[in-house]
Structure 1
């Protein structure tokens, strides 16, 4: 019995394509990539380094100012507090050029944000004698530190610290805030864990008779922040 003729568009043997059949489809050429031969497969994209959006930094800066802005700075009236008053009056805060080996970030937008933080603290903290706000490190290398501090005569340092911590706990979900060594400058200090936009934070705060301040380390835990806290505080706060 004779075989039916092949369909004009059916697959054909490898030794040739008879008339009436479509030629095999051609694959589009892949553009050559730099450093690759023409038509070679494109390599995987380079991994992007984790960064922190500036909108996150702006939001956090505003939060820190709000937490510190209610600090009640007042002059002491009792003679037995004269020494504390003198120490407090000689306490100053400033944003150093480097912080624990990290250079202050010179990005114009972050510099403007730092200046705004300082201006807000000067206008909201009662009777302040100084304020400091700045960013340090390299966000592209997941090494970023943010500071906010104000100096003045604190009426109730423990209360100021507790209120600042409460504010952070509500807004940044800061947990495990525990008392840590405040260092040679004295006063009270706490460090704990926080998070913003999925980025872990190591948060430390301090308060004494002459200042109140916070240090936020991005991509770090509270335990990691604790190891550098005393060094950083000593570079931000000085007492003559």
Structure 2
């Protein structure tokens, strides 16, 4: 039968069996061995694209999983102001309390916190080396961004923060940075930390940035708890 005489049914259903033997033989365009037709370049490109998408997807899922684990680990934080921490003694005088309340209130106005703290710690070895500490707890999705914003706000209040740089954050992780600024009482080293559950800052009179960074890590170990 010529191509011109193919019926509509034959075009749809394919060739009819040809009775050359006792059993009908169906004509087929498939590989007699049962294999698939050779795959061309388009099929290979699809396979490569799917592989790349799978790898990217797995990498993204791993990153999200790591971030979620870190947030879950850091989000439940408590900050206290113990009587003594890192060799310093809390100053409960009226003047110190007034200064601490002022710093705490200003800090809490700049960032929405669940709870805020503020206090002044004195150095028994030298009354001129006081430390002003203030901070609070809340869920922070981007700790470093929020910490940088607070350093910017501090610069608006006290003057430009110079030589700002990252320093080791200690055993609680997150991000910690230190620099220098000026205030009515003179020059201060200033440090701040932030993680997914807390943010805090300290101002250190008559101390170098490196000394202040080390002392701030010790203070953090004494005032912060998780879980």
- Shorter-normalised TM range: 0.5 to 0.7
CA RMSD across the alignment = 2.6
2:202 matched residue in structure 1? 215
In the alignment, structure 1 segments of 5+ residues that lack a partner are 1-77
Determine the structure 1 residue equivalent to 2:167: 180
Residue by residue, what CA displacement relative to the aligned partner does 1:181-219 show, whole Å, maximum 9, x if unpaired? 001111111111222236221111111111111011112
Moved over 3 A (4+): 78-82, 115-125
- Give the Å deviation of 1:233: 1.4
User: How far did 1:120 drift?
Assistant: 5.6
Retained in 2: the 8 A contact 1:104–1:135? Answer: yes
SS in 2 for 1:142: strand
Per the TM alignment, residue 90 of structure 1 is displaced from its structure 2 partner at its CA by 1.9
Partner of 2:39: none
Q: Does 1:144 align with 2:130?
A: yes
| Alpha-carbon distance, 1:223 to partner | 2.1
In 1: Cα distance, 2:71 partner to 2:214 partner: 30
Q: Distance in 2 between matches of 1:219 and 1:210?
A: 30
Q: 2:82 aligns with which of 79, 87, 96?
A: 96
Tell me the alpha carbon deviations over residues 152-182 of structure 1, each in whole angstroms, 9 at most, x when there is no partner: 1102111101111222344333211111000
Aligned partners of 2:106, 2:154: CA distance in 1, in Å? 18
2:149 alignment counterpart: 163
Deviations 1:46-102 (CA, angstroms, capped at 9, x unpaired): xxxxxxxxxxxxxxxxxxxxxxxxxxxxxxxx9735433432332111212112111
Which of 177, 180, 189 is the equivalent residue of 1:193?
A: 180
Pairwise CA distance, 1:134: 0.2
TM-score by length of 2: 0.62
Report the equivalent of 2:219: 232
Counterpart in 1 of 2:118? 133
Match in the other structure for 2:91: 105
Bigger Rg, which one: 2
Query: What's the TM-score once normalised by structure 1's chain length?
Result: 0.59
Select the structure that is richer in helix.
Answer: 2
The whole-number CA distance in structure 2 between the counterparts of 1:198 and 1:97 is: 24
* Counterpart Cα distance in 2 of 1:198 and 1:131: 24
Q: Secondary structure at the match of 1:193?
A: strand
